[in-house]
Amino acid sequence: MSTLKPLPIDVVSDVVCPWCYIGKRRIENALALTPDVPVEINWRPFFLNAWVPREGISRDEYLTAKFGSVEAYNGIAGRVVAAASEEGLTYRPELVKRQPNTIDCHRLIYWADAQGKSAEMKQRLMELYFRDGGDLTDVDVLVQAAADVGLDAGDVRKRLATDEDVDLISAQAKDASDKGISGVPTFVFAQKYAVSGAQPAEQLARAIRQVSAEVNAQAAE
Question: Looking at beta carbons, which pairs linking 171-180 to residues 24 or more positions away fall under 8 Å?
Answer: 172/44, 172/45, 173/45, 173/46, 173/47, 173/50, 173/106, 176/12, 176/44, 176/45, 176/46, 177/46
Average pLDDT (189-209) is 97
Quick check: is 191 in a domain? yes
Whether 68 maps to a domain, the answer reads: no
Domain-embedded: residue 138: yes
Residue 186 included in any domain = yes
> Which tens digits make up the pLDDT trace of 23-82?
999 999 999 999 999 999 999 999 999 999 999 999 999 999 999 999 999 999 999 999
Which CATH number characterizes residue 21's domain? 3.40.30.10
User: Which SS3 state, helix, strand or coil, does residue 46 take?
Assistant: coil
- Is 61 inside any structural domain? no
Is 62 within the bounds of a domain?
no
Nearest-angstrom CA–CA distance, 81 and 179: 30
Residue 2 lies in a domain: no
pTM: 0.96
**Structural domain span for residue 51:** 7-56+101-220
Number of folded domains that form the chain: 1
Residue 18 lies in a domain: yes
pLDDT digits (tens, 9 = 90+) for 82-116: 999 999 999 999 999 999 999 999 999 999 999 99
